[in-house]
Structure 1
């Protein structure tokens, strides 16, 4: 939103540049554009032939340099460059605001001392006033922290032009960042693959263990069944041997009446009835 507003504010000066055929008119256009409210982007005006023609005018070439500083320079650059036009109050405030944006884009926390030195301010109060004007202008979102003598910046508006040669550097930085992202994704994929393989291995081992345990349980069941039959047969043989020892003659009637129920201690119903009569 702030960027659209700044571009719209520059439109009248782009239209006026077509009629600024003399160096003096072009220089005057630079002064008016940098002094106007809401003009924070100057790349399009800087690229117009009439403004670029100022480079061939020794008298007004400094206005081209001034517009370049407003476009992608800083207040410190202005002070370090000799023979530049003097700034009026509006230009001074705007250049300091633009310089504040550049400083805030590199750090989330700015000390009062650093801003005071970088922006040519004489007191802490001036630092706070400048930050407040930038906040109200929508240039950045920040919080003043007088106790720590610092400014906490949460976001800044995209209202600075790119300096010449910046795009290749940005492309290189983005390519390096993309390479690091690809490397990180590759490492994550390897870790995910390792985790999946470990999970499959654990599941295979678990199934093998369960199958082995099931086999052991089935074997134990067959063993218990066989043992029960063995005990039953053994008990039967023991009963027959006892009867044989008690009746050496091997009475046929006794053999016929002997069955597994007698051996197991189950009393015949007829015998139980005879006992009751007695």
Structure 2
């Protein structure tokens, strides 16, 4: 919960308690007090109190319910369009509604020109506009900065406002679509991860198989080499003879006689 939401909830609590037992004119006056109360900027809970909802069909006090609805999710333009059938605003209420209107505009665009704000907020004084914005920043309704050179408000954050009843289904549809898209992305991501794992396992299996084949080849090579006959370490180019004592061939050195004929001695 944001600082503003926590502060508003605390300051709105006394009005919620009183509204449970307030009826008719007392309930209408309670609405007027809540709309002017410093630090109270969210009114959805007050709208949901049964005694307040009863005012919607009241001939004498339905205008107070409509006024409360505008403060919950409307703008200065909504008030001006129905001003003839609504209670007059006190200076505190008008200031609050203008600041709530800035929050609504900020949710649509992060850069708000002075000309647009002056028109929508029904203000004809630039100094008054800047003072209103600065106070909204101090109240944590918005967060941003004034660019006097470019004559605009650059918004970094804006408080959330209540949702109109006829917008609930549309928002639910958007959330369902977002949920379906998120689940689809999650499924694709999991499939990709599994595919990468499978490929890694396949590469490891190929590497293990290659290593086994290499070891087998080395073993066969060693076995073949061990079965080949060995030559004597002493070989002077003579004739290979068989030695009956150890069955190993050996070489007898050559001797040359007087007649030049080679002879061999054992």
TM class by shorter chain equals: 0.7 to 0.9
TM-score, with length taken from structure 2: 0.75
Alignment partner of 2:205: what SS?
helix
Other-structure match for 1:138 = 140
Map residues 114-193 of structure 1 onto 2, 5 A cutoff: 114-122=116-124, 124-158=126-160, 160-193=161-194
Distance (Å, rounded) in 1 between the aligned partners of 2:138 and 2:44: 24
Distance (Å, rounded) in 2 between the aligned partners of 1:215 and 1:36: 88
Closer, same or farther: CA 28–183 of 1 in aligned 2, 3 Å: same
Other-structure match for 1:63 = 64
Alignment partner of 1:141: what SS?
strand
Gaps in structure 1 of 5+ consecutive residues: 256-278
1:91 matched to 2:93: yes
Closer, same or farther: CA 148–203 of 1 in aligned 2, 3 Å: farther
Distance (Å, rounded) in 1 between the aligned partners of 2:44 and 2:170: 18
Other-structure match for 1:240 = 239
Query: Is the 8 Å Cα contact of residues 244 and 250 (structure 1) preserved in structure 2?
Result: no
TM-score, with length taken from structure 1: 0.72
How far the C-alpha of 1:124 sits from its partner, in A, is: 4.8
Task: State the structure with more CA Rg.
Answer: 1
Alignment partner of 2:180: what SS?
helix
Query: Is the 8 Å Cα contact of residues 41 and 161 (structure 1) preserved in structure 2?
Result: yes
Distance (Å, rounded) in 2 between the aligned partners of 1:54 and 1:178: 38
Closer, same or farther: CA 53–222 of 1 in aligned 2, 3 Å: closer
Distance (Å, rounded) in 1 between the aligned partners of 2:22 and 2:128: 37
How far the C-alpha of 1:187 sits from its partner, in A, is: 0.5
Higher relative contact order (CA 8 A, sep 6+): 1
Alignment partner of 1:239: what SS?
coil
Other-structure match for 2:7 = 5
How far the C-alpha of 1:218 sits from its partner, in A, is: 4.8
Distance (Å, rounded) in 2 between the aligned partners of 1:126 and 1:208: 81
Report the number of matched residues: 249
Q: Which has the higher helix share?
A: 1
Distance (Å, rounded) in 1 between the aligned partners of 2:73 and 2:115: 23
Gaps in structure 2 of 5+ consecutive residues: 241-250
Q: Which has the higher strand share?
A: 2
Distance (Å, rounded) in 2 between the aligned partners of 1:122 and 1:235: 119
Identify the range of structure 1 (240-249 vs 164-173) with the bigger mean alpha-carbon deviation: 240-249
